[in-house]
Amino acid sequence: MKSRIVLCFLFSLSFSGLGIAGGPGESAFNEGLRQHDQGMLAEAEKHLIDAIALEPTNADYHFELANIYAAAYDQWKRDPKRSQTEEYLGRAAYELQQAIMFRPDFLAAHFNLGVVYKKRGQYEKAREQFKKVLKQNPDSSPAWMQIGATYEEQGFDDDARDAYLEAKQRDYTNTDIQTALDDLEMHQSEPEQTRGGGLGAGDPFGMFDQGAQYSLYQQQSAQGYQQQQPAQGSMQQALPAVAAMLVQQFMNRRAGNSLPSNSDEE
């Protein structure tokens, strides 16, 4: 059994005081954030769906809805009575793809989509997303760590070591990176069938755990990103037909298939 401090966090917009101003969905969005902060995921989902119905091209709304599905996956992934846990990963991926479609340089959405792909075993697609983060920010040690983790899960130890060393070069004092390197060296001597799945596999600090979440705005501040604000108005004016189509598809796909509310969990 691996013992690993996991560097496998999910960026989140969910923290007190954040709001996206200036749009008709703002009130529903802020209420969704509040409900999410309180752990009321079904209620948060409903408010985010309402916000997206009003502003279907708002990348932040799709991003936050993806975080709600990620939290739902984390909350219920170990419950054998839950049959929809894997579906939550699919929903999270879809919303992140929407966020990226409307804001192609949305680093946090690329990063999170990479984490979702990694969790689903889609390692090549995961690396593509992490490399898009690195294209804009080559010094992102979390992206290098995630790339290393995908290689390690596939058993490509040399590639994993190279990626971890790239991360260490950029964040030398981070003890988690050295732990990953030490664990990789130790587990190289294990029989193939006993080896774990790299960072986050079967670990209580898995990618969607609340304690592992990381604020997008904290990360931007720490790594010198400029806070990205969506150009909602111009996008909506340019894509009215697409927006209308997305609203219809969005509502049809969600009808009768929402998260269970807190009262339904017993």
Residue 111: other Cβ atoms inside 10 A: 25
pLDDT classification of 12: cutoffs 50, 70, 90: very low
Close Cβ partners of 174 (under 8 Å, ≥ 6 residues apart): 7, 141, 167, 168
Alpha helices in 137-227 (DSSP H): 141-154, 157-170, 175-187, 216-223
DSSP structure class, residue 257: -
pLDDT in tens, 156-208: 999 999 999 999 999 999 999 999 999 998 877 766 555 544 444 333 223 43
DSSP structure class, residue 263: G
Q: How far from chain centre, in Å, is Cα 143? A: 12
Give dist(CA 93, CA 109) in Å, integer: 10
H or E element: which one contains 150?
A: helix 141-154
> Is the confidence at residue 90, as pLDDT, over 50?
yes
CATH superfamily of 11-264: Tetratricopeptide repeat domain (1.25.40.10)
Torsion of CA 50, 54, 58, 64, to 10 degrees: -10
pTM of the model: 0.71
> Is the confidence at residue 87, as pLDDT, over 80?
yes
Task: For 225-243, give one letter per residue: b (16+ CB within 10 A) or e.
Answer: beeeebebeebbeebeeeb
The C-alpha angle with vertex 9 and arms to 5 and 11, in degrees rounded to 5, equals 160
Q: How far from chain centre, in Å, is Cα 144? A: 16
| 74 or 31, greater pLDDT | 31
Residues paired with residue 11 on neighbouring β-strands, in sequence order: 214
Give dist(CA 185, CA 152) in Å, integer: 11
- Cα dihedral sign for 219, 223, 229, 235? negative
Give dist(CA 97, CA 168) in Å, integer: 30
* Weakest-pLDDT range from 30-34, 47-51, 227-231: 227-231
Categorise residue 191: left if φ over 0, alpha if ψ from -120 to 50, beta otherwise.
beta
Strand, helix or coil for residue 12: strand
